[in-house]
Amino acid sequence: MKKVYAVSHGEYSDYSVEVIFSTKAKAQAFVDEANALRSRGSYEYFIEEYSLDIPPAKLIGYYVCMTRDGKVLSCVKEVIANDKPGRHVFSDAETPGTNELFLVTSAKTEKGAIKRANEVRTQLIALGRWGVNE
């Protein structure tokens, strides 16, 4: 799959992509020079890697929220293009005072997404990693 390398800087409302290169080496050369020229206190330039022409099926997936005992609090089909399938975090966003698993999965169905979240849940519990954000 073809990749491109975007040189960006800033964050939140100050974030912008400045230029896109076909190779990481070219992007790095620009970043090195741009960071050497930037004024004190301004944002550093950095490289972001993007894949081109990703099959649409890999851009859609599910966000699953599950409790430690396996109760599914939510399972939402979403665009996951800017997220990594398999990434998980713990939060009490759904139920304050608890530690729920939020998992990104590229499963094709809701049933498959819940099954994958349950597999991750049981692995994390068995490894003693429940509640540990990566």
pTM of the model: 0.57
Same domain membership, residue 45 and residue 23: yes
Q: Is residue 133 part of a domain?
A: no
Per-residue pLDDT of the chain (134 residues; tens, 9 = 90+): 789 999 999 888 889 999 999 999 999 999 999 999 987 778 899 999 988 887 666 678 899 999 989 999 999 998 887 667 677 777 766 666 677 888 888 888 999 999 999 998 899 889 888 877 65
Q: Is residue 131 part of a domain?
A: no
Q: Is residue 132 part of a domain?
A: no
User: 45: domain range?
Assistant: 3-51
Could you tell me which residues are beta bridge partners of residue 51?
A: 3
Same domain membership, residue 74 and residue 44: no
- What's the rounded Cα separation, in Å, for the pair 78 and 29? 36
AA letter at 23: T
Q: Strand locations in 22-87, DSSP E?
A: 45-51, 60-66, 72-79
- What's the rounded Cα separation, in Å, for the pair 19 and 38? 16
Note the Cα 131 to chain centre separation in Å.
Answer: 18
